[in-house]
């Protein structure tokens, strides 16, 4: 997913796990189930209420505001994140109290093309992991005027049925009747099915914007399903919202893999300028579990380049040095750090997914050579340690000739051999990560996303653009 985000020119942001509770109550929204029931909230030693992040968007926007990234970075900001989130929910298949999310936020440019880019990136990331059949559900919840009119209509409709509905829905009716549409109680869902539809309340501008986004998806051949019951459970959304679903070949449905949408007022709500944003988040456990069921995990297997084997106690230190040398040359390598039987070392090499074994005994050391064995073809040859770099270079090029051609357009040393036809599934993220490291370092230097100790959301709001 990181590799895909980088293809679309997003850079990584690493927001803190812990935020002041207001960030979520004001950002994610008082009427959302997350804020009402699912947050791990406690007072710190300074008696300030803090919360383990239940989602990333509010925290990312807080970081953008408190570090004024909107003023220092080239706009629009294109950020991706990855890490744990915490929700006090009843654990079940695909639902955990600590789970990992990957997501992106694009902040500062108001356009249906930006919204479309975010959706396409999410789909493309999943295709690159090997998913073949994804279902994109999409809807619009319109602008402020649309939602105001729609909430009134829902209030009138649900007022007639509220006596038959769950306690939560009583509260939702007061706070935000749109949240009733997310209710999981079956009998409530039946009542919600007969509720007014948002499409009948859309302002002209929102309708136009939605059809612009759909038309971009059409142009790119992205299939979607219009779902007018989709409203998403977080308060900050406006205009387009979407969810991506996939069902395992054995029929297992772990729920939505991810979802997102446009947000109009969130940056301002958290004390920043009036800038729009769009984002999506996906649950990595759900993605992983479906990949496991559909046999897609092999797409993530990269393995190491070399397993370096000492033959006997007397060469342990030489092998240690040699392993370090090949790492310095840019090859991933491991070694047992103890003298083991050859059979045991080949087993370890296989477990690590090593492409080659590099074998050194006393005789080889004294002659300045080593044995290099291709673990797939079993071909073995003697190589000169004096010319180690050239020897390894030519052995790898001989073993993986496709990569040389692909390297030009893709990645210098991608090792998947899958053809990279735009749906590359190599999972060669580590290689591209090496490059990402530098840019990440810059981001941290220029606009650190940590929770600013002096950050006071109230004060920031007053400050506004100042
Ligand atoms: P949300 O932030 O609620 O829009 O959720 C985005 C994605 O995160 C969902 O589509 C799920 O894949 C994942 N997710 C949300 N809550 C959980 C949870 N409790 N356990 C596992 N994954 C979750």
CA-96 nearest atom, ligand 1:
20
Ligand 1 centre to CA of 246 (Å) is: 14
Q: What is the pTM of this model?
A: 0.78
Other C-beta atoms lying within 10 Å of the C-beta of residue 144 = 12
Residues of the chain short of pLDDT 70, as ranges, are 73, 402-466
Kindly state if the Cβ of 89 falls inside 6 Å of ligand 1: yes
Kindly state if the Cβ of 416 falls inside 6 Å of ligand 1: no
pLDDT for 375 equals: 96
- Residue whose Cα lies nearest atom 20 of ligand 1: it is 95
pLDDT for 73 equals: 67
Q: Which of 286, 288, 289 to mutate to test the pocket of ligand 1 (most atoms within 8 A of CB)?
A: 286
Kindly state if the Cβ of 87 falls inside 6 Å of ligand 1: yes
Ligand 1 centre to CA of 96 (Å) is: 9
Kindly state if the Cβ of 283 falls inside 6 Å of ligand 1: yes
pLDDT for 416 equals: 41
pLDDT for 250 equals: 84
- Residue whose Cα lies nearest atom 4 of ligand 1: it is 259
The domains found in the chain, sorted by start residue, are: 2-143+203-293 (3.30.930.10), 306-405 (3.40.50.800), 413-466 (no CATH)
pLDDT for 461 equals: 38
Ligand 1 centre to CA of 175 (Å) is: 23
Kindly state if the Cβ of 95 falls inside 6 Å of ligand 1: yes
Kindly state if the Cβ of 73 falls inside 6 Å of ligand 1: no
pLDDT for 133 equals: 86
pLDDT for 415 equals: 41
pLDDT for 255 equals: 83
Other C-beta atoms lying within 10 Å of the C-beta of residue 444 = 14
- Quick: pLDDT tens for 174-209: 988 998 988 889 999 999 999 999 999 999 999 999
- Residue whose Cα lies nearest atom 21 of ligand 1: it is 95
Kindly state if the Cβ of 452 falls inside 6 Å of ligand 1: no
CA-284 nearest atom, ligand 1:
12
């Amino acid at each position: 997913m990181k590799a895909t985000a980088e293809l679309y020119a997003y850079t990584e942001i690493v927001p803190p796990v812990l935020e002041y509770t207001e960030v979520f109550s004001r950002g994610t929204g008082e009427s959302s189930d997350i804020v009402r029931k699912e947050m791990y909230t406690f007072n710190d030693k300074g008696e300030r209420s803090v919360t383990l992040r239940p989602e990333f968007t509010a925290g990312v926007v807080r970081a953008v505001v408190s570090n004024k990234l909107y003023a220092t970075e080239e706009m629009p900001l294109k950020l991706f994140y990855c890490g744990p989130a915490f929700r006090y929910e009843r654990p079940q298949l695909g639902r955990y109290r600590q789970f990992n999310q990957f997501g992106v936020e694009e902040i500062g440019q108001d356009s249906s093309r930006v919204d479309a880019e975010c959706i396409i990136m999410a789909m493309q990331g999943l295709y690159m992991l090997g998913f073949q059949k994804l279902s994109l559900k999409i809807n619009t919840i319109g602008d402020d005027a649309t939602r105001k009119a729609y909430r009134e209509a829902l209030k009138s409709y649900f007022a007639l049925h509220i006596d038959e509905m769950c306690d939560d829905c009583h509260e939702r009716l007061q706070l935000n009747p749109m949240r009733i549409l997310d209710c999981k109680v079956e009998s409530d869902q039946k009542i919600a099915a007969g509720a007014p539809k948002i499409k009948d309340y859309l302002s002209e501008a929102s309708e136009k914007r939605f059809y612009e986004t759909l038309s971009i998806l059409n142009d790119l051949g992205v299939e979607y399903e219009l779902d007018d019951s989709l409203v998403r459970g977080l308060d900050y959304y406006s205009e387009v919202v979407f969810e991506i679903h996939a069902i395992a070949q054995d029929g297992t449905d772990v729920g939505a893999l991810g979802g997102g949408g446009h947000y109009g007022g969130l940056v301002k709500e958290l004390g920043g300028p009036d800038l729009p944003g769009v984002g999506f988040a996906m649950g990595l456990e759900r993605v992983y579990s479906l990949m496991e069921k559909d046999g897609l995990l092999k797409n993530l297997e990269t393995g190491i380049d070399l397993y370096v084997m000492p033959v006997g106690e007397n060469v342990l230190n030489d092998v240690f040095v040699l392993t370090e040398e090949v790492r310095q040359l840019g090859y991933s390598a491991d070694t047992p750090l103890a003298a083991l039987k050859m059979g045991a070392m080949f087993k370890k090499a296989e477990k690590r997914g090593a492409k080659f074994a590099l074998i050194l005994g006393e005789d080889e050391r004294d002659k300045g050579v080593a044995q290099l064995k291709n673990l797939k073809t079993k071909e073995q040859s003697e190589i000169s340690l004096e010319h180690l770099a050239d020897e390894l270079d030519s052995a790898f090029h001989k073993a993986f000739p496709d990569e040389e051609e692909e390297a030009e357009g893709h990645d210098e040393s991608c090792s998947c051999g899958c053809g990279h036809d735009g749906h590359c599934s190599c999972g060669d993220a580590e290689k591209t990560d090496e490059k990402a490291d530098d840019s990440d370092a810059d981001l941290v230097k220029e606009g650190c996303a940590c929770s600013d100790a002096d950050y006071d959301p109230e004060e920031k709001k007053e400050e506004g653009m100042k």
